[in-house]
Amino acid sequence: MAPTLFDEKPEIGDLIEIFRGTYQHWAVYIGDGHVIHVAPSNEQAGGGAYSMMSMLSDRAFIKKTELWDVVGTNQYRINNLLDDKYEPRPAHVIQREAQRQEGQEVPFSVFQGNCEHFATELRYGKAESRQVHHAVEVGVGVGVATMIGVGVLAAAAAIFGSGRKEKKREN
């Protein structure tokens, strides 16, 4: 039988990426079947449409939760996405820092202080969010493409529009 996503067992300090449809929720495995993660106070275990609304919150709590309670019916994977860029902190440091922060209320921002920022800072000591980087790149790409499209349309209108005026003058 081929291995599935759920066959891989996390180790202390592993980043857990949970697929919630339109976004990913991030947590850090801290042992004994538990993760630590940051979630707005109205975040529902297991995600869902209600969790998407929690993105509008500006405050969140650092929570220690059983992995399966956070995953719910969603798929997840271990994704230590920045291991090629940064050295992971030692497992005992991650555990100690997770215990120190558990239960704290913190500012929450989708763009500057989300669950992925929290997880990467705990693992690497650097807060980064690839989701935000990707969203910005897509947004900039769409903006540039729109500007180019408008520019091309304006140029075409100028070229072809002036031709019509010249034809009218000839008649």
Q: Which residue in the list 34, 37, 117, 133 is annotated as catalytic?
A: 37
Q: SS in 3 state form for 36-103?
A: EEEEECCCCCCCCHHHHHHHHCCEEEEEEEEHHHHHCCCCEEECCCCCCCCCCCCHHHHHHHHHHHCC
Catalytic one of 25, 34, 133, 134 = 25
Spatial CA neighbour of 63 closest among 40, 32, 33: 40
Active site residue 37: yes
Contact 131, 124 (CB under 8 A): no
For residue 108, give the nearest of 127, 124, 136 by alpha carbon: 127
Is 133 catalytic? The answer is no
* Distance in angstroms (rounded) separating the CA atoms of residues 15 and 119: 7
* DSSP-based three-state secondary structure for 168: helix
Question: Active site residue: 34, 92, 115, 133, which one?
Answer: 115
36 contacts 122 by C-beta, under 8 angstroms: yes
Q: Which residues are catalytic?
A: 25, 37, 115
